[in-house]
Amino acid sequence: MFNIAVAQSGGPTAAINASLAGVFSGAEAYHEVDEIFGSENGIEGIIHNKLLNLRSIIMDERDKQLLMKTPSTILGSCRFKLKDFEEDEENYRKILDTFKRHNIKAFFYIGGNDSMDTVMKLDRYFKAKGVDIRVVGVPKTIDNDVTETDHTPGFGSAAKYVATSLQEIIRDSRVYSIPSVTIVEIMGRDAGWLAASSCVLRANGEPAPHMIYLPESDFSPEKYLEDVRQAQLRYKAVIVAVSEGIRCETGGFSSELTDAFGHKYLSGIGKYLEKYTSEHIGCKVRSIELNVMQRCSSHIASLTDIEEAERIGRAAISAALTEKKSGVMMTFKRISNNPYRVEIVTADINKIANREKKFPREWINTEGNNVTIDALNYFLPLIQGEPEIEYRNGIPVHFRLNQ
Q: Which residues of 93-128 are buried (b: 16+ CB within 10 A; e: fewer)?
A: eebbebbeebebbbbbbbbbbbbbbbbbbbbbbbee
Q: Write down the least CB distance from residue 167 to its own copies, Å.
A: 6
Q: Which amino acid is at 44?
A: E
DSSP string of 21-76, one letter each residue? HHHHHHHHT-TTEEEEEEETTTHHHHHTT-EEEGGGTS-SHHHHHHHHT--S-TT-
CB nearer its own copies, residue 338 or residue 366: 338
Q: Please, which of residues 66-95 interact with its own copies by CB under 8 A?
A: 70-73, 76-79
Cβ 58 vs Cβ 64: under 8 Å: yes
Least separation in angstroms between residue 77's CB and its own copies is 5
Among 56, 61, 233, 266, binds its own copies (CB under 8 A): 266
277 in contact with its own copies (CB under 8 A): no
* Residues composing the chain: 403
CB of 328 to its own copies, least distance (A): 26
SS3 111: strand
Nearest residue (CB) to its own copies, 200 versus 329: 200
Residue with Cβ nearer its own copies (366 or 393): 393
Q: Residue 12: is the preceding peptide bond cis (ω within 30°)?
A: no
Site for its own copies in 172-211 (CB under 8 A): 172, 174-177, 200-201, 203-205
Query: What would the x/- binding string for its own copies be over residues 279 to 308, using CB under 8 A?
Result: -------x-xx-xxx-xxxxxx-x------
Q: Is 143 a catalytic residue?
A: yes
Cα–Cα distance between 5 and 263 in angstroms, integer? 44
263 binds its own copies (CB under 8 A): yes
Within 24-63, the residues that bind its own copies by CB under 8 A are 40-41, 44
Number of residues lying near its own copies (CB under 8 A): 66
Concatenate the DSSP letters of all residues of 281-329 into one string.
Answer: T-SEEEEEE-TTHHHH-GGG--HHHHHHHHHHHHHHHIIIIIS---SEE
Strand segments (E) across 325-367: 328-337, 340-348
Answer for the pair 178, 160: CB distance below 8 angstroms, yes or no.
no
Closer residue to its own copies (CB): 4 or 301 = 301
Smallest distance from its own copies to CB 261, Å: 6
- Min dist CB 361 to its own copies, Å, is 26
The whole-angstrom separation of Cα 399 and Cα 379 is 29
Closest CA to 249 of 288, 222, 268: 222
Least distance (Å) from its own copies to the CB of residue 264? 10
Per CB under 8 A, does 397 bind its own copies? yes
Residues 338-377 as x/- pattern, contact with its own copies by CB under 8 A: ----------------------------------------
Selecting among 123, 143, 145, 305, the annotated active-site residue is: 143
Looking at 165, 180, 331, 370, which residue binds its own copies (CB under 8 A)? 165
Nearer to its own copies, 188 or 381 (CB): 381
One residue of 133, 169, 181, 328 binding its own copies per CB under 8 A: 169
The span from the CA of 383 to the CA of 270, in Å, is: 25
Residues 195 and 143: their CA atoms lie apart, in Å, by 10
Least distance from C-beta 3 to its own copies, angstroms?
23
Eight-state DSSP code of residue 181: E
Q: For 204-292, where are the alpha helices, taking DSSP H only?
A: 221-234, 253-261, 269-280
Residue pair 228/239 in contact (Cβ under 8 Å)? The answer is no
Active site residues: 143
Residues within the interface to its own copies (CB under 8 A): 11-12, 40-41, 44, 70-73, 76-79, 160, 163-165, 167-169, 171-172, 174-177, 200-201, 203-205, 261, 263, 265-267, 271, 275, 286, 288-289, 291-293, 295-300, 302, 380, 383-386, 389, 391-398, 403
